[in-house]
Amino acid sequence: MKMVPNISWQCDKCLGQARTEWLEKRLREHEKRLEILEGSLEQRASELIGAKSGEPATNASTLCPGLPHTIGRKALVITGTFVLLTIILGVVLAQTTTFFEETVHKSKNADGEDSRQNIPINSTIDDDVVANGTLELVDVGRWGGSPSKHPLDRLSLPVHRVIISHTASESCESEEVCKYRVRVIQEFHMNGWGWDDVGYNFMVGGDGRIYVGRGWDCVGAHTKGYNMDSIGISFIGTFNKILPTEQQLQACQLLIAEGVRLKKLDPDYKLYGHRQLSATESPGALLYKIIKTWPHWSSVV
């Protein structure tokens, strides 16, 4: 019988030898690369040492050791351009963020400068004060008030007292904000104290407008024991340390004069500060000092 050599065995042997030769070749190539890299690192180290000692630098790339100088310069230019664009983008984003924050702040505070609290976010504070010497009354419907819970008692006209108070709240200097203040006061009087309506007959805004409460004909709820024969006028704000506006003072005087003209007030009425008739600081030390100089103010209760 003729013997046939194991061809598959011979092929396996050849393939194994070929794989070994291929791996050895690749290892030698990697060793060369490592040698080149080590040489580049040594050259870079020499450059750094030479730079410190004042020796001239070589033409090797300062950015990428082992690469030609032209390639390193291109990489440096590209990197610098990218950094510059990043800085510009950061500045633009910072400016945009600042503008957005200022816009939000202005929308909340209406003009960016009024930092008073409790102003509605959608309010618009305009320079809409009444300063032309005219009397402007804002009725309940216009300032968005609620109707009285029950019919109010009627005053016996004309009355003989005007009682000046303050609301002991934050002030207001535009119609929009003053209307909001008055709504808050009414809500507190009706739901907090359980009264039938806002307690004052009239409220005077820093914008120079008169905000009608119970009006000329109805008994107020502002000064216990004196409501039946008086008109209660309250300045919106707190005037222990700050002065009312000139428009506020003028509007109040115009209102009193109108009450006399309409025969709602006796021509010989007496003017009082709330503190004279009740245990309170109202209408505030500074406002009280002012009304003491007005005609009809009386020290005799």
- pLDDT 10s digits, 59-78: 444 445 554 555 555 666 67
Q: Phi-psi bin for 124: left (phi > 0), alpha (psi -120 to 50), beta? A: beta
Model pLDDT, residue 128: 75
* Structure-token pair, residue 16: 């194994």
Average pLDDT of the chain?
Answer: 79
243-246: Cβ within 8 A, 24+ apart: 243/286, 243/287, 243/290, 244/171, 244/204, 244/206, 244/286, 244/287, 244/290, 245/129, 245/173, 245/206, 245/207, 245/208, 246/131
Model pLDDT, residue 130: 83
* Structure-token pair, residue 70: 């032209």
Model pLDDT, residue 184: 97
Q: Are 280 and 224 in contact (CB under 8 A)?
A: no
Model pLDDT, residue 100: 45
User: Dihedrals φ, ψ of 166, to 5°?
Assistant: -125, 160
The domain made up of 137-291 is a member of CATH 1.10.10.10: no
The low-confidence residues of the chain, meaning pLDDT below 50, are: 1-10, 15, 57-63, 67, 100-126
Model pLDDT, residue 257: 97
Q: 225: helix, coil or strand?
A: coil
Query: What CA–CA distance (Å, rounded) separates 129 from 206?
Result: 8
Model pLDDT, residue 235: 98
Q: Per-domain residue ranges for the chain?
A: 137-291
Model pLDDT, residue 233: 98
Model pLDDT, residue 51: 59
Q: Phi-psi bin for 98: left (phi > 0), alpha (psi -120 to 50), beta? A: alpha
